[in-house]
Chains A and B, each alone.
Chain A
């Protein structure tokens, strides 16, 4: 459900701060049919060119708020709205080398009425 809409191509890019590339971000939407308190997003995994980004290096930026995956576990009131674009941020001086990169994103959603978590993923070739 909504898998192919997870990664939003046009907002995915290297992050430039004070003239320096400090990392990169991947724009994503949650593959589900309603908004969710972010504590119910049990896990997000990001792979670039086949290599997993360690979860400790991954931040989620949502309408101006920034969370680590650990911090998301406790946050039930802030909601990732239906269809809202958020950003997976990776702090990595220099960002990604210019050119095409294969990006894989996996969402693990804890939906209470489902007996098991929903695991949904998308994969796109993106230009940085």
Chain B
């Protein structure tokens, strides 16, 4: 039975990395653009756009909350990383890793974010240890379900078992819509051609991928055709991207409190070249999804070698697509409490 959904629109400022890196946009400019597109939820990677991370000065926080007020936006999510290979040749101990997670939970809490994206490589055991701290700081921790992982694979199944075992509503999933990449991003493919990949090999890989051929077969067959490293790199792309049926999300809806709306190329007609957002959003509506769809533009890396990147226009197109697919009247005014699990 269809549940009532309330899908809200947001943007991960990751989307504007090109302009921020080149100092063409400031953090405030990024927030202002989200507001302009009616995307009220602001997601941030502290390590990307908060100089001095993990320190948060009172001066910064005053500006941050001032911008939220000025632009009528709300902080929704901080994306954390777990640098367990911080020092050459050694791994952080489990306790050191836990301390790193707690550091980020505190950071998210002070920024006013109720959700934290946990990097996909984080173990279920560590999530279990961190759960009490997530509760203490009132920040929900979502393991990012990032391609080539998907929500039903072995790693995520173990995460789900920990969610069930602890019963904590502060543990959940943040699916990345890159998991529903039905055809390889054109911007990536064209980049490989510019780097010298053979057009016949490129065509073989893209067609096989679209036909759902297992990536191991694609890599195996290409290695029999060529030894050229750039052609092999093209074949390997079939391993990094993935398409699974978005209906796989349905059994887990009560554990999904945030979504990364990954995209590589929004076309002029306001559809995404690789990811069938009409299919994906229909599933989220059917499942009664209550959180944010957070734009995550990742096309810049594939085109920056020859084009001027316009992340703002890309985000604008995706947000317009969301308005269309969500029939905007279903969009409720955002709050920074992203979930009712």
Given contacts A79-B53, A113-B120, contact A5 B88 (CB under 8 A): no
Q: Does B280 contact A (CB under 8 A)?
A: no
Q: How far is the CA of A107 from the CA of B21 in the complex (A)?
A: 17
Closest-CB distance, B21 to chain A (whole angstroms): 4
Q: List residues of chain B with CB within 8 A of the CB of A74.
A: 87
Given contacts A40-B86, A113-B120, A113-B121, contact A5 B22 (CB under 8 A): yes
Asked whether A34 lies within 8 Å of B47 as measured between CB atoms, the reply is yes
Smallest CB gap from A113: residue in B: B121
Closest-CB distance, A24 to chain B (whole angstroms): 24
Q: List residues of chain A with CB within 8 A of the CB of B88.
A: 39, 42, 73, 110
Q: List residues of chain B with CB within 8 A of the CB of A36.
A: 47
Binary CB contact string for chain A from 32 to 59 against chain B (1 if under 8 A, 0 otherwise): 0111110110100000000000000000
Number of interface residues of A (CB under 8 A): 25
Q: List residues of chain A with CB within 8 A of the CB of B301.
A: 1-2
Asked whether B121 lies within 8 Å of A76 as measured between CB atoms, the reply is no
Q: List residues of chain A with CB within 8 A of the CB of B84.
A: 112
Asked whether A112 lies within 8 Å of B85 as measured between CB atoms, the reply is yes
Asked whether B81 lies within 8 Å of A34 as measured between CB atoms, the reply is yes
Given contacts A2-B301, A5-B21, A113-B120, contact A76 B53 (CB under 8 A): no
Partner of B48, one of A2, A5, A37, A82: A82
Closest-CB distance, B309 to chain A (whole angstroms): 11
Q: Does B102 contact A (CB under 8 A)?
A: no
Q: List residues of chain A with CB within 8 A of the CB of B21.
A: 2, 5, 29, 33, 82-83
Q: How far is the CA of A73 from the CA of B84 in the complex (A)?
A: 14
Q: How far is the CA of A29 from the CA of B57 in the complex (A)?
A: 25
Task: Give the interface SS of chain A, mostly helix, strand, loop or mixed.
Answer: loop
Q: Does B83 contact A (CB under 8 A)?
A: yes
Q: How far is the CA of A20 from the CA of B20 in the complex (A)?
A: 37
Asked whether A40 lies within 8 Å of B47 as measured between CB atoms, the reply is no
Q: Does A4 contact B (CB under 8 A)?
A: yes
Q: List residues of chain A with CB within 8 A of the CB of B17.
A: 33, 82
Given contacts A79-B53, A82-B48, contact A37 B20 (CB under 8 A): no
Closest-CB distance, A71 to chain B (whole angstroms): 13
A: residues with CB less than 8 A from B are: 1-5, 29, 33-37, 39-40, 42, 73-74, 76, 79, 81-83, 110-113
B: residues with CB less than 8 A from A are: 14, 17, 20-23, 45, 47-49, 51-53, 81-88, 119-121, 301, 304-305
Give the top 4 A-B pairs by smallest Cβ distance, nearest first: A83-B21, A34-B47, A113-B121, A112-B85
